Amino acid sequence: MTQNTVLVVDDEKQIVILLRAYLEEVGYRVVTAPDGRQALYVARHERPDLVILDLMMPQMDGWEFTRRFRQESNAPIIMLTARVEDLDKILGLELGADDYITKPFSPREVVARVRAVLRRSLQTPAPRGVLRAGDLVLDIENHTVTRAGRDLDLTPTEFSLLAALMRRPGRVMSRLGLLESAQGGAYEGYERTVDVHIKNLRRKIEPDPKNPRYIVTVFGVGYKFDEPDD
């Protein structure tokens, strides 16, 4: 079995040592960096399957790393943050992060999150096939999405959420139900990130994100996928 590589980026050495020990114990290959600048160099050479990323770092912070990394890779990112402001978390998610964990954290929870996000990112999709709605086409087997023939660059989380919605056109899905359908489980706090991922999805797939034709909000409940008439 191929060993998945996890890049841990944090300027606190004890956190890096702790996460490395727990992740290696369950079989992951771990590479590390103390800041965003070095992390970009490591990522380009090691091509990690997942990044665990602290937000507040010298040289280059987590937000800038995420912005640059997303230009080169769709590997999932789990943010670590000691700050509790929702705006910080939302900014990270809007830049392309998949999940966040607030410090202080349980190392076992981090391992569980890594497993969940990697499972969603690397699993062999089933059932196979192509989902179509208007000019939007999602190819499950090849993990691609196009609109009007143009390739769309979706993160693993965005792809999973879109696939979950497109498999159930017209059906209203709660945020928790959408997460469980997309990734096979949900964690406390992560449910609140769905709105940010949906916002990102709309920006990528909708002709007019402010007036969505595909992903419709059902206020007080969640979201549903509408197939356009044209």
Considering the domain architecture, whether residues 32 and 111 belong to the same structural domain is answered as yes
Q: What pLDDT does 137 receive?
A: 92
Q: What are phi and psi of 157, to 5 degrees?
A: -65, -45
Tokens (6 digits) for 162 = 């879109």
Average pLDDT of adjacent 10-residue blocks, the chain of 230 residues: 86 94 95 94 94 89 89 88 66 76 88 84 60 89 88 86 89 82 56 80 91 90 81
Is 96 domain-assigned?
Answer: yes
Q: What pLDDT does 125 receive?
A: 47
Kind plus residue range of the DSSP H or E element containing 161: helix 156-166
Considering the domain architecture, whether residues 73 and 153 belong to the same structural domain is answered as no
Is 39 domain-assigned?
Answer: yes
Q: What pLDDT does 229 receive?
A: 63
Q: Measured between alpha carbons, how far is 2 from 77 in angstroms, rounded to an integer?
A: 20
Report CA dihedral (99, 104, 110, 116) to the nearest 10 degrees: -40
Domain total in the chain: 2
Considering the domain architecture, whether residues 86 and 154 belong to the same structural domain is answered as no
Q: What pLDDT does 204 receive?
A: 92
Q: What pLDDT does 169 receive?
A: 87
User: Residue 220: which CATH number?
Assistant: 1.10.10.10
Tokens (6 digits) for 158 = 């965005």
Kind plus residue range of the DSSP H or E element containing 199: helix 194-205
Q: Which runs of consecutive H residues, i.e. helices, occur in 78-125? A: 86-95, 107-122
Q: What pLDDT does 53 receive?
A: 92
In the sheet with 173-174, reading across from the earlier edge strand, the strands are 173-174, 222-225, 215-218
Q: What pLDDT does 188 receive?
A: 45
Is 186 domain-assigned?
Answer: yes
| 224 contacts: CB under 8 Å, gap ≥ 6 | 165, 168, 169, 170, 171, 172, 173, 215, 216, 218
Antiparallel, parallel or unpaired: β 29-33 and 50-54: unpaired
Considering the domain architecture, whether residues 21 and 56 belong to the same structural domain is answered as yes
User: Residue 94: which CATH number?
Assistant: 3.40.50.2300
Considering the domain architecture, whether residues 172 and 85 belong to the same structural domain is answered as no
Q: Which amino acid is at 4?
A: N
How crowded is the C-beta side of 21, counted as CA atoms within 13 Å?
7
Beta bridge partners of 224: 216
Which domain covers residue 153, as residue numbers? 130-225
Tokens (6 digits) for 54 = 């602290």
Is 230 domain-assigned?
Answer: no
Q: What pLDDT does 221 receive?
A: 84
Q: Nearest Cα to 155, choosing from 53, 73, 36?
A: 73
